[in-house]
Chain A
Amino acid sequence: GENVEQHPSTLSVQEGDSAVIKCTYSDSASNYFPWYKQELGKGPQLIIDIRSNVGEKKDQRIAVTLNKTAKHFSLHITETQPEDSAVYFCAASKGQAGTALIFGKGTTLSVSS
């Protein structure tokens, strides 16, 4: 079945460093790739997303890149801050966007000051 692999499972960085989380997906029909951030005691919240007709998207310190040929997409956080510490999930649409999502297993990011 469809699958999304996410790496690494844990990531520790110093404040100000960059953090990169990588995902691969298996469904060629997937065309929507969101990233969610989950803080302790809360539900996941969308932080950035990308559609298959775009290779890169940036929003302040956060950027996402997509390589459809290789079925890879990545989250890049620059100038990390302690409040970036959370669990991050990548996801891919099951087929066309607007339907259900398949989530990766999550990356726990710790930013130490």
Chain B
Amino acid sequence: DVKVTQSSRYLVKRTGEKVFLECVQDMDHENMFWYRQDPGLGLRLIYFSYDVKMKEKGDIPEGYSVSREKKERFSLILESASTNQTSMYLCASSSTGFGSYEQYFGPGTRLTVT
């Protein structure tokens, strides 16, 4: 059974703190993604990665960075958390295998910045 896990379900941080959100997949997928989900705005892509040490900006990368040192792990970093980064963060992974484009999502991390 495919699995994407995220390090925390709920996280509360203070303004200005550096925040790390971790995502691990056990499917040997090449692609990994970080999304942000807000009511009425759907899922918005923050960053994605096609391979180890590679990253691409998504639609809303400002205030975030990412790290992919190992194929199975993709980290989202908030360099200096702000209240407008309070949100649900979803990680996903997918294969580049021919004919298989499904993205598998983790359960999400609800981050509150106070």
Decide if B90 touches A43 in the complex (CB within 8 Å): yes
A49-B102 in contact (CB<8A) = yes
Tell me whether B101 and A49 are in contact (CB under 8 A).
Answer: yes
Interface size on B, as a range, is 20 to 34
**Cβ-defined partner of B42 (8 Å) among A41, A49, A104:** A104
> Interface with B: A12-20, A60-68, A77-85, A92-100, which one?
A92-100
Q: How far is the CA of A34 from the CA of B92 in the complex (A)?
A: 14
Answer whether A44 and B90 are a contact pair too, CB < 8 Å, given A1-B59, A98-B96: yes
Within 8 A of B (CB), among A51-65: none
Take A41-B107, A43-B90 as given contacts and tell me if A89 and B42 are in contact as well, using a CB distance cutoff of 8 Å.
yes
Structural contact, B42 and A101, CB atoms closer than 8 A = no
B106 nearest CB neighbor, chain A only: A43
CB neighbours (8 Å) of A36 from chain B are: 105
Q: Does B48 contact A (CB under 8 A)?
A: yes
In the assembled complex, B4 has its CB within 8 A of some CB on chain A: yes
**Cα of A6 to Cα of B43 in the assembled complex, Å:** 12
In the bound complex, residues from chain A placing their C-beta under 8 Å from that of B74 are: none
Additional A-B contacts beyond A89-B43, A101-B103, A105-B41 (5; CB < 8 A) = A34-B103, A49-B101, A100-B58, A102-B45, A106-B42
Closest 8 CB pairs of A and B: A43-B105, A105-B42, A103-B43, A103-B42, A46-B102, A97-B101, A106-B42, A44-B105
